[in-house]
Amino acid sequence: MRVAVNAWFLNAPTTGSGQYLTSLAAALRDLSSDLELVMIEPRARGKLAKVWFEQVGFPLAAARTKADLAWVPYWAGPLASDLPVVCTIHDVIALALPAYRGGLAGAAYLSLVRASAPNAAHILTDSEYSRQDIVKRLEIPEERVTAVLLAADARFSPSIGADAVAAARERYDLPETYVLYLGGFDPRKNIETLFQVYVWAGETIGTDFPLVITGRPEDRCYAADGAPTTLGEMAKLLEVEDVVRFVGRVSEEDKPAVYAGARAFLYPSTYEGFGLPPLEAMACGVPVIGSNATCIPEVVGPAGMLVDPMDARRMAGALIAVCAEDDLHARLAQKAILRAAEFSWSRAAIDTLGVFRRVGRV
């Protein structure tokens, strides 16, 4: 079976779409010896070049490969294609949250990819929540949308050594013990609640377990009302600057050790298409305290303590318990490891290949 692949993100390992394509393509090749993935890369980069590649260059090149189908591993399917198209729509955040639609150019691009979705022979997505959101917001028949759960990379594991953790602690000037937030700072990440948790918890655990944020004080974030500010300004406004540590951007190589050194992972996001950071934390044996919104319960399951994303007080109570009670922490850490083990790229490859074979009739 031959599959032509839109490889725009093939060499972009720091992007979610790049990580998805790299990990899933490797698992697909390991799974089936009769599967050929033909990576079609663009000849030029840039916003206009990207649209041309997605709508013209890729479908033309895909047809020349005489493939059984074309796979676009992100939301940018062509409006017309000689081959049946499988498109991965990781989420429809831009439809659910108007703030993510951008300016005129962003809105035009969203209209384009939205119009392309019904033309896909099948749509893959990352979670059951996202599957239902796609069916509802894009009005796609349920039988044409399949949830294929993602996985953490194998380097995120409970066997990360003490030496690696110590090296990361020195490299990023981390405290001996800490609570970690690793993720973005855009509006849906709910950064104000993140800090408000320490308004409630800081006096009890702030000295022993400060909040480590993988960002800088000058990084932009957003208040609950959508007003732009910076991480440092918000910490000062909420008077938690004494119990928050900004360590800057963490390299991909160091992420597992930074996770592993944390007592807990704090994640109050209000909307996710999957939520990879909590899964990475759990794979390292770190309990998750966070939001019960959208697909996060689907990922975390019983391995964490999840509450309403706007309820900072209850989130603080859960965090205090995990930091202060060793038995509770140990139970959740074990559950986290077991839960993370349920997600694998080999399983994702099996489910994806099943869709490919149905669409390509091979």
Map out the domains of the chain as residue ranges. Answer: 2-151+344-360, 162-341
Q: Could you tell me which CATH number the domain at 2-151+344-360 has?
A: 3.40.50.2000
List beta partners, residue 202.
none
Nearest to 257 by CA among 177, 179, 155, 164: 164
Nearest to 152 by CA among 284, 13, 294: 284
Place of tokens 């995120």: 156
CATH level 3 topology of 162-341: Rossmann fold (3.40.50)
CA atoms within 13 A on the CB side of 72: 32
d(CA 127, CA 136) in angstroms, rounded, equals 14
Residue 101 above 80 pLDDT? no
> What tokens appear for 42 in the block?
């663009």
> What tokens appear for 43 in the block?
């000849």
Tens of pLDDT, residues 280-319: 999 999 999 999 999 999 999 999 999 999 999 999 999 9
Count other Cβ atoms within 10 Å, centred on residue 141: 8
Q: Does the fold of domain 162-341 match that of domain 2-151+344-360?
A: yes
Angstrom CA distances, 242 to 178, 210, 246, 248, stand at: 13, 8, 11, 17
Residue 83 above 70 pLDDT? yes
Strands 228-230, 220-222: parallel, antiparallel or unpaired by DSSP?
antiparallel
Residue 214 above 70 pLDDT? yes
3-state class (DSSP) for residue 312: helix
Q: What is the mean pLDDT of residues 217-233?
A: 95
Spell out the residues 6+ positions from residue 33 whose beta carbon is closer than 8 angstroms to its own: none
- Identify whether the C-beta of residue 102 lies closer than 8 Å to the C-beta of residue 122: no
At residue 18, the pLDDT reads 87
Q: What is the mean pLDDT of residues 164-174?
A: 97
d(CA 177, CA 175) in angstroms, rounded, equals 5
